[in-house]
């Protein structure tokens, strides 16, 4: 039987999503639980990777089990083993050809910024800057990222292709919390955090929008801006057809 699960997790308790040899990850914990349930080793395919400290409301993973089990009982069994920092919110039987990553058509990330006073209880879940931010300038900066671009100057590491599409970037403020939502087809390593960092550089007066636009339009100049910390980043939603 083939399954797709929806997962939420507190990223501050793990070294990211993807399995690592020497560190505890979300993938490792879920695979260990599924192996116990299946009584045979299980490997999952995640919809995307999240780095150490990054959270998820709706990560997805697909896998195969050799046992006959319905969706509700699998959800109950999994959650009894993976809580309290991981929770499976939904289980769905899928076709054998389904792949959590390759079938993705759109993703959403949210970055959360605390604009108020420092609160130690926010440390793992919001970014609290030590400077004031001009939100209107950040919104203007966000507009240049929407569309199809080569994001080489806003991605960590090397890859063959840096081009991708961002459909929209939305800002929402409630009291002292600013949320920036990114909606796109795909996002590369550190990309959202680098885009937020660039926006905050503009919002604090460190760089101009023209400087950010020049780096976006000229990917070969190798220009870098600030990288926002991982604690404010959330994988919000994965979309399939």
Domain boundary among 48, 66, 93: 93
Do 87 and 180 fall into the same domain? no
For 179, the token pair is 């949320």
- Collect the ranges in the chain with pLDDT lower than 70: none
For this structure, is 124 an active site residue?
Answer: no
Q: Say if residues 215 and 223 touch (Cβ distance below 8 Å).
A: yes
Domain count, the chain: 2
HSE on the CB side for 161, CA within 13 Å?
A: 6
Structural domain boundaries, residue 115: 105-240
The pLDDT value recorded for residue 221 is 87
**CA-to-CA distance for 18 and 194, rounded, in angstroms?**
20
* Per annotation, catalytic residue among 10, 51, 134, 140: 51
The pLDDT value recorded for residue 22 is 83
The answer to the question of residue 186 being in a domain is yes
Domain boundary among 71, 93, 115: 93
Q: Say if residues 233 and 55 touch (Cβ distance below 8 Å).
A: yes
Whether the link from the prior residue into 84 is cis, omega within 30° of 0, is yes
The answer to the question of residue 100 being in a domain is no
The model scores a pTM over 0.85? yes
pLDDT tens digits for range 96-154: 999 999 999 999 999 999 999 999 999 999 999 999 999 999 999 999 999 999 999 99
């Amino acid at each position: 039987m083939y399954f797709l699960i929806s997962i939420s997790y507190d990223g501050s308790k793990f070294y990211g999503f993807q399995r690592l040899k020497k560190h505890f990850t979300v993938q490792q914990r879920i695979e260990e639980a599924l192996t116990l349930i299946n009584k045979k080793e299980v490997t999952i395919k995640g919809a995307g990777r999240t780095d150490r400290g990054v959270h998820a409301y709706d990560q997805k993973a697909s896998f195969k089990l050799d046992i006959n089990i319905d969706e509700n009982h699998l959800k109950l069994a999994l959650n009894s083993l993976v809580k309290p920092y991981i929770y499976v919110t939904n289980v769905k039987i899928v076709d054998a050809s389904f792949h959590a990553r390759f079938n993705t058509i759109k993703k959403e990330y949210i970055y959360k910024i605390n604009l108020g006073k420092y609160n130690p209880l926010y440390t793992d879940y919001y970014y609290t800057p030590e400077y004031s931010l001009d939100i209107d300038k950040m919104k203007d900066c966000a507009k240049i990222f929407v569309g199809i671009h080569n994001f080489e100057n806003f991605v960590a590491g090397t890859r063959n292709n840096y081009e991708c599409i961002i459909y929209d970037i939305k800002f929402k403020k409630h009291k002292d919390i600013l949320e920036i939502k990114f909606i796109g087809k795909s996002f590369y390593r550190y990309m959202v955090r680098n885009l937020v960092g660039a926006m905050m550089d503009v919002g604090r007066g460190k760089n101009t929008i023209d400087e950010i636009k020049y780096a976006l339009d000229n990917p070969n100049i190798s220009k870098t801006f600030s990288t926002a910390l991982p604690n404010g980043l959330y994988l919000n939603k994965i979309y399939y057809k």
